[in-house]
Structure 1
């Protein structure tokens, strides 16, 4: 990646200021009580400038989750080339969530907020779709020769779904809306998820004892 120019740095700083202000106000007052005008004022940015970056207050709030997703993809791309896809993804997830920086903290706060705010869910879907596409591309780059067919898309979608399940289960251990559960719980849950994906999800079913087709000699 080349050096970012001054104009792009300024645009990034403006977007970041709006994103952080939107999340901060939404966490304090609730999304339904926050206005676009308040977000612009909080970020010390002109109201008309807001709409150059976001179409709504909900999109601005969810942008914190998008920034966390982008950080995850960047960490995945930076993992050593010899690591397997799932190993690299595990390390990338833990690296992002272990970081004590604004992006990591806001990512978790946004996830918690989205869980309890139905109006944010449609906007979250757009973030998830973009994340899946980006991860599928990174997976394709990691493997040589590049895999054909469904694998990159399926692997990205499955792995990120597993991450969402793990994060949801992990956040259930929180004692309050602003509390972050211990990382040891997250590590254990995510390791279980990665192990399940690596082993394959297909398992034999349990036949109904009353089902005549379960007989070994049924010929079916």
Structure 2
């Protein structure tokens, strides 16, 4: 089934949003998060401050401009998985397909430093993380026909969302993602000295 073509208005709206987000990230990386105002971002993107707020709720949302899409993609990975595919295998493939390309972005290290060194962004990321856990665990629970507060579903969602952070420092990130999902699938086993992964 093909999706209907995106209209010109929607394309223009998406392009404006992307231009604002790109300008914001460039300024944040150049000057530091606290030294950049919404007016600075609007000027750099050649839009009004009103336009900025039409697309984003605030400065923090400008840094994490794709998180809403990522959340919906996580849920879709669970709900729209192939027939016969397990929830864990679907989430494993989603992480490999969506997160690994991000780690190769040339600005990834700068972005991570920006978030880690800015208290407001760290706090926003933590709130966002909690929301993702709730949404993903609810999707998993729905697939299994159990209550949304089911501890097993909440725990699985939280561990899956931690996979990128756990794999980020490993030399072979793909192998690390697979190893973590193997633990989630098969259960934890005490590692031997030769099998312990090394950090980069």
Tell me if both proteins adopt one fold, taking TM over 0.5 as the criterion. yes
Partner of 1:147: 146
| 8 Å contact from structure 2 (residues 42, 48) kept in 1 | yes
Partner of 1:198: 185
| CA deviations over 1:8-50 (Å, ceiling 9, x no partner) | 5554443333222212221233212222112112222211221
| 8 Å contact from structure 2 (residues 140, 153) kept in 1 | yes
What pairs with 1:170-209 in structure 2 (closer than 5 Å)? 170=170, 185-200=172-187
| 8 Å contact from structure 1 (residues 75, 96) kept in 2 | no
Give how far 1:161 is off: 2.4
Unaligned 5+ runs, structure 2: 191-200
Say whether 1:113 aligns with 2:100: no
CA pair 128-119 structure 1, distance change in 2 beyond 3 A: same
**Higher Rg of the two aligned structures:** 1
Q: Distance in 2 between matches of 1:112 and 1:73?
A: 28
Moved more, 109-118 or 78-87: 109-118
CA pair 121-34 structure 1, distance change in 2 beyond 3 A: same
CA pair 138-196 structure 1, distance change in 2 beyond 3 A: same
Q: Distance in 2 between matches of 1:9 and 1:81?
A: 33
Partner of 2:34: 32
Q: Distance in 2 between matches of 1:20 and 1:186?
A: 26
Partner of 1:46: 48
Secondary structure at 2:55 match in 1: coil
Q: What TM-score does the superposition give when structure 1 sets the normalisation length? A: 0.66
CA RMSD of superposed structures (Å): 3.4
| CA deviations over 1:157-202 (Å, ceiling 9, x no partner) | 22212333223x24xxxxxxxxxxx6xx111221221122223359
Q: What is the count of residue pairs matched by the alignment? A: 185
Q: Distance in 2 between matches of 1:128 and 1:55?
A: 17
Q: Distance in 2 between matches of 1:136 and 1:93?
A: 16
Partner of 1:18: 20
